[in-house]
Amino acid sequence: MSETAAGTLFLVATPIGNLEDISLRALRVLREADLVAAEDTRHTGKLLHHYDIRTPTTSLHEHNEHEKVPALVDRLRAGARIALVTDAGTPSISDPGYRLTKAAIDARIRVEAIPGASAVMAALVASGLPTDSFVFAGFPPPKPKARAAWLEALRQERRTLVVFEAPHRIRETLTDAFRILGDRQVAIGRELTKLHEELVRSPISVVLEQLSDPRGEFTIVIAGMAEGDPIDTSQTTDNQLLTEFGHLTESGLGRRDALNELAARHGLRSREVFAAIDRARRS
């Protein structure tokens, strides 16, 4: 279906630290928008004030997204230009934004991405690990059992892994990664693009020995499984596929794409993955 003659939703990437890391196009869109929907209006207010942008703001975060999306879509239908921003980086990448984007698309409203700074890309390209193909897995589950299952699901992934983690869980996550993935090479990015930026490149065991008083959000780049290590598809259980399927769909991937991703990951056919998930749900 073609888009309706209405407003436009702009997904505007904002700096992840250094305020200079914003494009001229992003600044123009923020100035010309009728409204800026921000994860935290106080945080975004500092950015807007820095560049003397006086566009009105409204909050849109994980706790009010469900109730505010319909009203924002109504404004878009009426012709408004709304710029969606989060505290840092690109909206909906482990941040709010997916619900509004999906609702706008469903309403046949134009959605336009304004690219910019990315903690994922900044850490990945500076990691020294392969960049030709990688997997961004977001935040690990906070509970130990779920986190272990999540890491196990990624253990046989040959592509470079990129994940986020909070400072109060970084040690537990790295400890679990060491136990489940082995002593792989990692690059740990902290406070990227900021004054005290730090990027440590070492095996997991060395990072754990040196880690003390962690502060700031972390971006972790992890080497994929070595080419010499065979992928053991016999260990893939129905329940494991169901768990992985849940993680993929919760991250925003469609059902068909999630099935295809799991099929490629485990050397199976999509219909085999579907059958395994169905068996797990019925058991």
In the prediction, which pLDDT does 230 show? 55
As a whole number of angstroms, the distance between CA 149 and CA 236 comes to: 12
| Comparison of pLDDT for 256 and 160, the residue scoring more | 160
Q: Which residue has the tokens 């971006």?
A: 219
| Residue-wise pLDDT tens digits, 216-252 | 889 999 999 987 665 554 556 888 888 888 878 876 7
Report how far Cα 18 is from the mean position of its chain's Cα atoms.
20
Backbone φ and ψ of 53, nearest 5°? -105, 125
Report, as an integer, the average pLDDT of 63-81. 95
Q: What are the residue ranges of CATH 3.30.950.10 in the chain?
A: 120-222
Q: What percent of the chain has pLDDT over 90?
A: 69
CA dihedral 224, 226, 232, 238 (to 10 degrees): 0
Averaged pLDDT for residues 78-99: 94
User: How far out from the chain centre does Cα 178 lie?
Assistant: 22
Overall pTM surpassing 0.85 (yes/no):
no
Strand partners, 186: 202, 222
How many CA within 13 A on the CB side of residue 74? Answer: 5
Is the Cα dihedral 25, 13, 49, 61 positive or negative?
Answer: positive
Alpha-carbon distance values, 280 to 11, 130, 271 (Å):
38, 35, 14
Average pLDDT over residues 53-57: 98
Instruction: Give the DSSP H/E element, type plus range, for residue 185.
Output: strand 185-190
> CATH 3.40.1010.10 occupies which residues in the chain?
8-117
Contact 85, 44 (CB under 8 A): yes
Q: Residues 101-112: pLDDT tens digits? A: 999 999 999 999
CATH of domain 120-222: 3.30.950.10
Report pLDDT for 54.
Answer: 97
pLDDT of residue 2: 58
Homologous superfamily of 8-117 in CATH? Tetrapyrrole methylase, N-terminal domain (3.40.1010.10)
